[in-house]
Amino acid sequence: MSNGSDLHPRSLIAEYFWKYRGRFAWGFLLLACTNLLALSVPRMLKHAVDALQASDRRALLAFSLAIIGLAFAQALVRTWSRLAVLGASRHVASDLRDRLFSHLQRLPLTYYGRHATGDIISRSVNDMLLVRSFFGPGMMNLINTLLVYVTTVSMMFSMDLRLTLYALAPYPFFLIAVNRLSRRIYSHSIALQEQLGTITSRAQENISGISLIKTYAREDEEAAAWAGLSRDYLQRALALARVRGALVPLMGIMASAGTLVVVGLGGRAVIEGRISLGDFVAFNAYLAFLVWPTFAFGWILNTFQRGTSALRRIGEILAEPSEERELPSEDSAPPLAGGIVMRQLSFAHQGAPAGVLHLDHVDLAVKPGGSLGILGTVGSGKTTLVSLVPRMLPAPPGTVLLDGRDINDIPLARLRRDIGMVTQEPFLFSRSIRENIALAPRPFTSSEIDEVVAASRLSNDLPDFPRGLDTIVGERGFTLSGGQRQRATIARALITKPPILIFDDALSSLDAQVEQEVVESLKQHRGRSTILMVSNRVASLSWADHIIVMDGGRIVEQGSHEALMTAGGFYARIARRQSLVADLEGA
């Protein structure tokens, strides 16, 4: 389980620097060599100017060739250093991206209920690019800037202490101004990235729900809402650009001020004979080395601030506790028998108002291989009840037992391995029908796939598919009808032959005849699998061993179909009404 206290941006930075310390150390060593080679050029330039004054052609040629050789060597070593550091940054980004995606797979459904999908995508994609820039170009330029300042200023001090102090006098004021601007850059960077997450979320929602937008002719309204979000993003981007823009002229002023000091005081020193013309040229060359790092400092600062805020946002996801628990592996344990007991089960969804319960003191028991039908009004707690069995929602300790064991003590992988579940909204990946059915992590034979296709009655529609089971269904299975998607997900649940089968209103998109055919197929699993069937149609539940009726999170009626019909309560009224509707439709 992740620990949020260990995922501060500084901790993540230290962790990945240590993990790839060899690559970064090699790159930084090459950067140091690059700067040593660069520092040698002004020294050679000094000797070349002095040789020129002395009319020593041989020495002038030798120093000129040395400058050319140093330039070529510097270019080669600089290329190696860039490859090393930038390569390390890509390894960091790849590692962190895999870690984030793996963690997202293990987060509970409650997390996704609290966070917008678009924001998660933005953190996984856009923020990851900022992290790569932080560890790559940002870190490389920071180290290079520090090396340039330390080595260049040292060389300048060795040539003329007083002139160096005058040249660097404006820099403390620059550092104070940069420190103030950096805080504003960080706050604006956070705001900009959060707005980008909002925009990404809105785009994801609109593209996913484009059919609904067109159905209600909402194109203009959605475009206007998008324009509002875009304007907000533009304002935040401009606010950040204004702060960043203030750095550029500030650094230009500082660099120009230093140059003016050197030209004025250094020129007098040459005239007075305190330094040679070669020293003056070399000193100006060293000062010129400081110009680019000074200008680059603003970009480095912005990269670090945005990278740090990106790491903070990614760290917030990594700090979320996953579903995994520190329990011994039971992969080789025998399958569950399927006995389900719920004792005094009360449950409230996260964020619900105080005192509001979605399940209120529920007691029930289903024998291994038995079947339970669940009927109820909208919002009565049916889906919440069945979602607790595979721990899609966290059950209070001691309230839900499988084979006499608290489900919280059963390793999650083993628990879900033994449960097949079909939800209200069938979801298919943009793959073939065959791949969607055989989604479980083990290979299946063609005969096994054909068996569940027949059991779900999807076989009735195979002639309509261009490539049969190998037909690609498109994103979310949009090329299939609602009933075909439901039958494909039923086949997916059946193929592993799980000890427990859960159908959460999984037949709602089927017509009456196909529904009854599927129900007849499911009856064959009685005794082999424990079946929980949620439905608003009595015809889909009447065959169950035991039926419960829910209202307001409580069980208000229960018994067999015959007993409930005799009682004449809510169940009997719904059954008579649906029977009358069926007769009228038949007529």
- Please give the Cα distance from 421 to 206 (Å, whole number): 28
What is the predicted pLDDT for the residue at 477? 65
Dihedral over alpha carbons 61, 63, 66, 67 (to 10 degrees): -110
Task: Tell me how far apart the 2 most distant CA atoms of the chain are, in Å.
Answer: 121
Q: Residue 96 has what pLDDT?
A: 92
Alpha carbon of 198 to those of 183, 308, 316, 480: distances in Å? 23, 20, 17, 31
pLDDT at residue 300, as a whole number: 80
The amino acid occupying position 65 is L
pLDDT digits (tens, 9 = 90+) for 88-137: 999 998 899 999 988 888 888 778 878 877 788 888 888 888 899 899 98
Cα 265 to Cα 278: distance, rounded to the nearest angstrom: 15
Sheet holding 530-534, edge to edge: 419-422, 500-504, 530-534, 371-376, 546-551, 554-559
Structure confidence by residue, pLDDT tens digits, 167-201: 777 777 776 776 677 667 767 777 777 787 778 77
Domain spans, the chain: 4-318, 340-586
| Highest mean pLDDT (candidates 171-175, 440-444, 566-570, 579-583) | 566-570
pLDDT number for residue 2: 43
Q: 296-317, pLDDT tens digit by residue?
A: 676 787 788 888 888 988 988 8
> What's the confidence (pLDDT) of residue 560?
92
Q: Which fold has domain 340-586?
A: Rossmann fold (3.40.50)
Question: pTM, whole model, 2 decimals?
Answer: 0.68
- DSSP summary character for residue 526: B
User: Cβ atoms within 10 A of the Cβ of 327, count?
Assistant: 13
Is residue 35 within 8 Å of residue 151, measured between CB atoms?
yes
What's the rounded Cα separation, in Å, for the pair 120 and 208? Answer: 16
- Edge-to-edge strand ranges of the sheet holding 359-366: 359-366, 340-347, 400-402, 405-406
Interhelix angle 139-159/57-106, rounded to 10 degrees, is 150
Q: Is the pLDDT higher at 328 or at 104?
A: 104
What is the per-residue pLDDT for 341?
94
Handedness of CA 207, 213, 219, 224 (dihedral sign): negative
In angstroms, rounded to a whole number, what is the distance separating the alpha carbons of residues 318 and 217? 40
The predicted-structure confidence for 250-294, as pLDDT tens digits, reads as follows 666 666 666 676 676 667 776 766 766 777 777 777 777 776 776
* Cα separations in angstroms, 556 against 98, 119, 512: 48, 41, 27
Fill in the DSSP letter of residue 472.
B
Average pLDDT over residues 323-336: 61
Alpha-carbon distance of 476 to 428, in angstroms, equals 5
What kind of fold does domain 4-318 have according to CATH? ABC transporter transmembrane region fold (1.20.1560)
Q: Which of 219-228, 401-410, 446-455 has the lowest mean pLDDT?
A: 219-228
Task: Copy the structure tokens of residue 458.
Answer: 């999807």
Query: How far is 520 from 524, CA to CA, in rounded Å?
Result: 7
Q: Give the pLDDT confidence score for residue 409 in this predicted structure.
A: 87
What single letter denotes the amino acid at residue 469? L
Burial of residue 547 (number of CB atoms within 10 Å: 0-12, 13-18, 19+): buried
pLDDT digit string (tens) for 353-371?
Answer: 877 788 989 999 999 989 9
Q: What is the distance between the alpha carbons of residues 405 and 18, in angstroms, rounded to a whole number? A: 43
